[in-house]
Structure 1
């Protein structure tokens, strides 16, 4: 499937909410859906982060042919001059198993490699999420550590870009 990535904009909250309000999507992220007010707060932070740099932020994953919404992808920095970015994605369940997360991840890694300021990419997954681990390992990420995120297990993987 041909895909395109477009940064989220203020009118896209309903698309974001489709993902974070689906327990199948959120099971390996927060183990619960986000309530509307919590999702709105997160979405505002996404929009603010999108303004830090034109090449980094959070994107809608869309079908290039039909413009159909497929999911969320991010290549997120914490501040304008960050040397590290976080790669992540959420895909609507009806598109699981089609190679979309792998395709998007590879695209984001290539984007990161072109940005001279970045030295490292990180990704955080639930250690039980074998599919995401495989995608990241295929993109040359390696496990850095296992940590606890407010009672939830997490595995941090990283990719050195230099």
Structure 2
């Protein structure tokens, strides 16, 4: 009788351990995909221009009303156009990000907060063509975001 209770008590722990090992194996398998990413061996600022404002275009949805500017300290400043045609900051409470180089790849971490929740995305530089930067999601090889530099004067207020 005591053995039966011991088996009944330990069975959920064994089952939970099995599923946690299986899930960690699954996520580690999908973590680093071998896509033809750009390898950055030199200065990161040879790819990113910190003086430019970039128009963010989500390729799948076509949404493109958000802009960003990279700083030399590794943070991303998000902007929007007001009715007067001037760039205004999006508060860091709602959207913020940073960029860094890891294993020779340029990575963007973006944190978004909205009333229903929030989220974090990780984007990896896939291609650079005439100053236009193409990024992919962490678990895909297709292009997901296009950053197009615009020639505009930055008016912060």
TM-score, length of structure 1 as denominator length: 0.30
Select the structure with the greater relative contact order (CA < 8 A; seq sep ≥ 6).
2
- Structure having the larger proportion of residues in strand: 2
Q: Which has the larger radius of gyration?
A: 2
- Structure having the larger proportion of residues in helix: 1
